[in-house]
């Protein structure tokens, strides 16, 4: 088995454990058991539990970024608002389908390195949105004074709302979430 595969398997196992046992139930023991390997083996791929969690966060953000990149490809069609709405939908669905990992994202991870990794990944995500905003402005769809800050704001608005909802409101109403988020963006950017 390729080294990378085993690593991915372990991360998959970790997600599975969180799904079944909650964030507090994430132990190396369970990850190993779920992946069908010995406990020691986990340490062959991750130096510590903290690094495993960091990797989990990183991978999650990467996947999300990938989805957004894909969704933003439609921007070429010229339908900015339609594309934006689709991106929102994609993000909501991603979070909902990764709801258990989402809980980890909100977790402290003392490890400075992990924090940095997470910070950079977030920044990349925001950069994507910023670019989209600039393009919308260039195309005359709307006006933005400070695309960077606006992108940050919108990203965290969306994620903040999603995180809270996922963590504290068990029965999430997807449609309502999507509509609300889309509305926020339309309003914030001044869609007439």
Partner DNA sequence: TATGAATGAGTCTTCATTCAT
Partner DNA sequence: TATGAATGAAGACTCATTCAT
Q: Does 41 bind DNA (CB under 7 A)?
A: yes
Q: Does 187 bind DNA (CB under 7 A)?
A: no
Type and span of the H or E element at 89: helix 80-97
Q: How many CB atoms lie within 10 A of CB 166?
A: 19
Contacting residues toward a second copy, per CB under 8 A: 22-24, 103, 106-108, 110, 115, 118-119, 122, 146, 149-150, 152-154, 156-161, 163-164, 167-169, 176, 179-181, 183-184, 187-190
191: left (phi over 0), alpha (psi -120 to 50) or beta: beta
- Whose Cβ is closer to a second copy: residue 90's or residue 184's? 184
DSSP 23: G
Q: Does 1 bind DNA (CB under 7 A)?
A: yes
CA distances from 135 to 54, 69, 142, 175, 192 (A): 33, 14, 10, 27, 18
Instruction: Tell me which residue of 149, 171, 167, 170 sits closest to 159, measured CA to CA.
Output: 167
Q: Which of 12, 16, 19, 37 binds DNA (CB under 7 A)?
A: 37
Q: Does 25 bind DNA (CB under 7 A)?
A: yes
Residue 156 partner contact from a second copy, DNA, none using kind-dependent CB cut-offs of 5 to 8 Å? a second copy
Pairwise CA distance, residues 75 & 86, whole Å = 10
128-154 per-residue burial string, b: 16 or more CB within 10 A, e: under 16 = bbbebbebbbeeebbebeebeebbbeb
- Whose Cβ is closer to DNA: residue 43's or residue 81's? 43
Q: Does 26 bind DNA (CB under 7 A)?
A: yes
Q: Which of 22, 44, 112, 123 binds DNA (CB under 7 A)?
A: 44
Shortest Cβ 12–a second copy spacing (Å): 21
Q: Does 110 bind DNA (CB under 7 A)?
A: no
Shortest Cβ 35–DNA spacing (Å): 8
Residues of this chain that interact with DNA (CB under 7 A) are 1, 3, 6, 24-29, 37-41, 43-44, 47-50
């Amino acid at each position: 088995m390729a080294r990378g595969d085993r690593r991915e398997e372990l991360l998959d196992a970790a997600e599975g454990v969180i799904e079944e046992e909650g964030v507090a139930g994430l132990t190396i023991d369970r990850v190993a058991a779920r992946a069908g390997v010995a406990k020691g083996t986990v340490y062959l791929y991750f130096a510590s539990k903290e690094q495993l969690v960091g990797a989990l966060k990183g991978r999650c953000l990467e996947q999300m970024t990938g989805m957004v990149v894909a969704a933003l490809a439609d921007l070429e069609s010229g339908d900015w608002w339609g594309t934006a709405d689709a991106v929102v939908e994609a993000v909501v669905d991603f979070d909902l389908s990764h709801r258990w990992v989402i809980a980890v994202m909100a977790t402290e991870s003392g490890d400075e390195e992990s924090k940095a990794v997470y910070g950079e990944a977030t920044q990349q995500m925001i950069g994507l949105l910023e670019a989209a905003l600039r393009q919308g402005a260039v195309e005359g769809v709307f006006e933005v004074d400070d695309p960077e800050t606006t992108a940050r704001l919108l990203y965290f608005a969306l994620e903040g709302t999603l995180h809270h909802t996922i963590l504290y409101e068990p029965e999430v109403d997807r449609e309502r979430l999507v509509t609300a988020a889309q509305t926020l963006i339309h309003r914030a950017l001044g869609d007439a």
